Amino acid sequence: MAYTPNIPQAADNPSQSQPLILGNFQEIATAFNLNHGDFNAASQGKHEFLQMPEQGAAPVTAASEGALYTKDSGSQPELFWRDESNGTEWQITNQATQTTNGSMLLPGGLLIQWGQESITTTGTVNFPVGYSSAVYSIQATAESPAGYFGAASRNITTASFGVVLSSAGTRTVHWFAIGV
């Protein structure tokens, strides 16, 4: 049965409106129990989980309100927050790539990236994802049969960085970067 608004009316006979009123209470219980603990259960009124349809764009926000919503980022639905007064849109979640070279967007817009590259004395590492404005830090370590030794970063841009090894030869360089 569908929900029937405006029942009962002042002039309605309760015995005639009773089936519609009962149907409304059943619809309310069905809607309330969706993703919530059932009425009269210990978890009554608490969310069991939250389902949100994906938005095509950031929702409109007025002064003194924010919006929490899902939207596609690439091909994956992700969680976003929009500040008040149609303010900044922040991506909260991100599907991290779990590969040798990967990246992950952190809440607040920080982007961490990692990887490894074969370098012969000097070379260039291209980030899997370009930074939008700045790279804050890069850590690089070169691997050799005898262990690990220094690798310095230089010529840092939002798309790549250069590497200089402290010892001649071809080495695997493991790196980690953070920025926005």
Query: Could you state, in chain order, the average pLDDT of each consecutive group of 10 residues for the chain (180 residues)?
Result: 88 90 92 87 88 94 96 88 93 76 84 94 92 95 78 93 88 94
Rounded to an integer, what distance in angstroms lies between the CA atom of residue 117 and that of residue 41?
A: 56
Q: What is the CATH number of domain 102-179?
A: 2.60.40.3940
Identify the pLDDT of residue 75.
83
Global pTM reads: 0.57
Identify the pLDDT of residue 74.
80
Reduce the DSSP state of residue 77 to 3 states and report it. Answer: strand
2-40 burial string, b = 16+ CB within 10 Å, else e? eeeeeeeeeeeeeeeeeebeeebeeeeeeeeeeebeeee
What is the total residue count of the chain? 180
Domain boundaries, the chain: 1-51, 54-91, 102-179
Identify the pLDDT of residue 95.
64
Identify the pLDDT of residue 54.
95
Identify the pLDDT of residue 87.
94
4 in Cβ contact with 19 (< 8 Å): no
151 in Cβ contact with 139 (< 8 Å): no
